[in-house]
Amino acid sequence: MLDALRQKTSGLTARIVLIALAILIGMWGVITAGGSFFAGNQNSVLTIGNQTVTAQEFTSAYNQQLQFVNQIYGYTTPQQAEERFALTNVVVSELARQAMVRDQAAKLGLGVSNEAMAAQIRLDPYFADATGAFNLTAYRTLISQQFGTEAAYLDYRRPLELQGQIQAAIAPEQIALPNTYRQIVWEYDNEQRDVLLALITPASLGVLAEPTEEQIATQYADTAATAYQAPEQRSVVILQVNPTTQAQPDAITEEEVRAAYAERQATLGNPETRHVFIQVLAADRAAAVQALLDAGQTYDQLVAANEIAPADQGTIDANYYASINPAVGTAAFAIDAGGTTIVDGRFGATLVHVAEVNAATIPAFEEVAADLRTTLAQERAAATIRDLRDEVEDARAGGATLLEAATRFNLTPLTLTLDAQGNDALGDPVADLPGGTNLVNAVFQSDIGYADPPLAGGGGFIWYEVTAILPPHQRPIEEVRDEVITAWKAADSAQRMQDLASTVINRVNAGEALTAVAAGLGLTLEPINDVKRSTTPTNTLSSNAILAAFNGPVGYIAPAQTSDGEGVVVVQVADATTPMFDPTAAPAAGETDILAAFQQDLFEGYIRDLALEYGDLPYNQALVRQLVGLSATP
Tens digit of pLDDT for each residue in 480-490?
999 999 999 99
pLDDT grade for 225, boundaries at 50, 70 and 90: confident
Q: Give the least confident one: 76-80, 559-563, 568-572, 629-633.
A: 629-633
Check: CB of residue 553 under 8 Å from CB of residue 191.
no
User: How confident is the model over 450-459, as pLDDT tens digits?
Assistant: 999 999 988 9
Task: Choose between 219 and 11: higher pLDDT.
Answer: 219
User: How confident is the model over 583-607, as pLDDT tens digits?
Assistant: 877 676 667 777 888 888 888 888 8
Interval 97-111 mean pLDDT: 85
Strand 340-345 and strand 348-358: the pairing is antiparallel
Packing angle, helices 477-509 and 213-227, rounded to 10: 100
Task: Choose between 548 and 183: higher pLDDT.
Answer: 548
Q: What is the pLDDT of residue 36?
A: 37
Q: What is the pLDDT of residue 151?
A: 84
Reply yes or no on whether the pLDDT at 516 is more than 50: yes
pLDDT grade for 632, boundaries at 50, 70 and 90: low
User: How confident is the model over 290-343, as pLDDT tens digits?
Assistant: 999 999 999 999 999 999 999 999 999 988 998 889 999 999 999 999 999 999
Distance separating alpha carbons of residues 3 and 15, to the nearest angstrom:
13
Q: What is the pLDDT of residue 81?
A: 78
Packing angle, helices 150-170 and 591-614, rounded to 10: 100
User: How confident is the model over 123-175, as pLDDT tens digits?
Assistant: 888 888 888 889 988 888 888 887 788 888 887 788 788 888 888 888 787 77
Q: What is the pLDDT of residue 154?
A: 85
Distance separating alpha carbons of residues 528 and 530, to the nearest angstrom:
7
Specify which of 89-103, 276-290, 615-629 reaches the highest per-range mean pLDDT: 276-290
Residues 6+ apart with CB under 8 A from 52: 41, 44, 46, 99
Check: CB of residue 280 under 8 Å from CB of residue 347.
yes
User: How confident is the model over 336-363, as pLDDT tens digits?
Assistant: 999 999 999 988 999 999 999 999 888 8
Interval 373-394 mean pLDDT: 93
Distance separating alpha carbons of residues 307 and 390, to the nearest angstrom:
70
State CA 429 to chain mean position distance. 23
% of the chain residues with pLDDT over 90:
51
Q: What is the pLDDT of residue 2?
A: 35
CA angle 347–352–354, rounded 5-degree value = 150
Q: What is the pLDDT of residue 10?
A: 35
Distance separating alpha carbons of residues 477 and 221, to the nearest angstrom:
9
**3-class DSSP assignment, residue 143:** helix
Distance separating alpha carbons of residues 145 and 164, to the nearest angstrom:
25
| Beta bridge pairs of residue 279 | 351
H or E element at residue 72:
helix 55-73
Q: Give the least confident one: 50-64, 242-256, 515-529.
A: 50-64
**3-class DSSP assignment, residue 343:** strand
User: How confident is the model over 19-42, as pLDDT tens digits?
Assistant: 333 344 344 344 544 443 344 456
Interval 13-18 mean pLDDT: 31
What's the mean pLDDT when you consider all of the chain?
86
% of the chain residues with pLDDT over 70:
91
Which of 96, 94, 99 has the alpha carbon at shortest distance from 22?
94
- Give the CA distances from residue 275 to residues 268, 419, 436, in Å, rounded to whole numbers and listed in that order: 22, 54, 42
Distance separating alpha carbons of residues 101 and 165, to the nearest angstrom:
10
pLDDT grade for 15, boundaries at 50, 70 and 90: very low
Longest dimension (CA), the chain: 115
User: How confident is the model over 68-88, as pLDDT tens digits?
Assistant: 778 777 666 778 777 777 888
**3-class DSSP assignment, residue 3:** helix
